[in-house]
Amino acid sequence: MLRHPRIRHHRRLPPNPSKVAVQNFDHLKNRIELPYPRIVEFSDDREWGDESLTDYYVSLLRQSPKLERLLTNHQFPGPPGKRSFPSKNKSGIITSVSVRDLHACDSALMRRISLPALESLTVNSWDVSLPDDILPAIRDMLVRSKCPLRTLSIFDAPGHSDLVRILESTPQLTELRLRFPSWSKKQDNTVNSLIEKAKKILPQLRILDINMYDCEFLGVGFAFVGAGLLDLVKARPGLRVLNVQVLTQDVLTVLKQKDLEELRALKSQGRELSITTRGEYRKGEDDQRFTQTEKLRVYV
């Protein structure tokens, strides 16, 4: 692991490491001369950058025949009013046949790579929202790669129809995790459509985890937690884990008592099913703020 926040020039690593973790290299000019032939895992915690950092990762993929895990946080900030913009690089698509696990949230990087061996994809922007064009870029990359993707995790997921299109291109998916930083009718419609589609397009799904969180405000309107969710659980006996947790003061009313009883019966047969809400308004000047740890409601 390398931590050199003040370095402004290229650095050489010890000879022949197989794993490299870059931390606190805040300055974009910081680069590491990598022993490309041997490296199997590379991580870099820088969140913001320009096209040169994307080029650096593309070069890493091009020259690392054994690289299996690439973990980055890098995003293009884009011009005012946009979260991302097309890469000016015209060098074409880079194919890496060794990468199996990718953590990335850079649309420009997604548009420049093909990963036919990819099994796990995590999209997490940590403290900032994802680029507006990240989902279309992911879908194009997956279609281009024709990879055997098994695990997909999208954090700070925008409510977007491309989320459903992504699932249509990954029929072998076994694990899907979605985190929503806020909630609106758009997100609700997207997840509702996703659940309907999942009954047909995700025959191997074993884990479905949907979590809505917001550090300050409660969500309202969770129509997706209804009969369609029960139908998915019943239609997919292989779906062993279902976890739905949302932050709201509302009582979920779309699931009827008989639906809850069916879910509890399936849970008693050994399936890990959980539907919970959490949150309570605080009394004070801002009555929309709440305490996450209070008023936990367990439905299943």
Give tens-digit pLDDT for 128-180: 677 778 899 999 999 999 999 999 999 876 666 788 889 999 999 999 999 88
Question: Within a domain: residue 254?
Answer: no
Question: Within a domain: residue 180?
Answer: yes
Query: If residue 249 lies in a helix (H) or strand (E), which one and from where to where?
Result: none
Q: What is the pLDDT of residue 273?
A: 95
Q: What is the pLDDT of residue 175?
A: 97
The set of residues, in sequence order, having a beta carbon less than 8 Å from that of 41 and lying 6+ positions away, is 18, 19, 20, 67, 68, 69, 70, 71
Which amino acid appears at position 111 of this protein? R
Enter the pTM of the model.
0.84
Give tens-digit pLDDT for 286-297: 545 444 445 677
The number of angstroms, rounded, from the C-alpha of 49 to the middle of its chain's C-alpha atoms is: 20
Lowest mean pLDDT among 98-102, 242-246, 285-289: 285-289
Give tens-digit pLDDT for 203-233: 999 999 999 876 555 667 788 888 899 999 9
Instruction: Return the DSSP state at 281.
Output: B
Q: What is the pLDDT of residue 247?
A: 80
Distance CA 205, CA 194 (A): 13
Distance CA 72, CA 226 (A): 36
* CATH number, residue 212: 3.80.10
More reliable by pLDDT, 251 or 210: 210
Question: Within a domain: residue 263?
Answer: no
Question: Within a domain: residue 290?
Answer: no
Q: What is the pLDDT of residue 52?
A: 80
Q: Is the pLDDT of residue 285 over 50?
A: no
Reported as a pLDDT band with limits 50, 70 and 90, residue 13 is: low
Which amino acid appears at position 118 of this protein? L
Question: The tokens of 59 are what?
Answer: 């070069």
Question: Within a domain: residue 93?
Answer: yes
Question: Within a domain: residue 256?
Answer: no
Q: What is the pLDDT of residue 130?
A: 77
% the chain with pLDDT above 70: 73
Question: Within a domain: residue 287?
Answer: no
Distance CA 152, CA 187 (A): 18
Average pLDDT for the chain: 80
The number of domains in the chain is 1
Question: The tokens of 133 are what?
Answer: 């064009």
Cβ proximity of 22 and 43 under 8 Å: yes
Range of the domain at 189: 2-223
Q: What is the pLDDT of residue 92?
A: 84
In terms of Cα–Cα distance, which of 192, 120, 182, 107 is closest to 150? 120
Query: If residue 52 lies in a helix (H) or strand (E), which one and from where to where?
Result: helix 51-62
The set of residues, in sequence order, having a beta carbon less than 8 Å from that of 140 and lying 6+ positions away, is 110, 111
Q: Which own/partner contact pairs does 182-188 have at CB distance under 8 Å and 24+ positions apart?
A: 182/212, 182/214, 182/217, 182/219, 183/212, 183/214, 183/219, 183/220, 183/221, 183/222, 183/246, 183/248, 184/159, 184/221, 185/221, 186/159, 187/159, 187/212, 188/159, 188/221, 188/222, 188/223, 188/224
The CA R_g of the chain, rounded to the nearest whole Å, is 21
Question: Within a domain: residue 150?
Answer: yes
Look at the block and give the residue holding tokens 């870099």: 44
The set of residues, in sequence order, having a beta carbon less than 8 Å from that of 14 and lying 6+ positions away, is none
Reported as a pLDDT band with limits 50, 70 and 90, residue 248 is: confident
Distance CA 131, CA 170 (A): 22
- Number of residues assigned to the chain: 300
Residues 40-68 have a mean pLDDT of 85
Question: The tokens of 222 are what?
Answer: 């969770």
Q: Is the pLDDT of residue 77 over 90?
A: no
Give tens-digit pLDDT for 187-199: 888 889 889 888 8
Which amino acid appears at position 202 of this protein? L
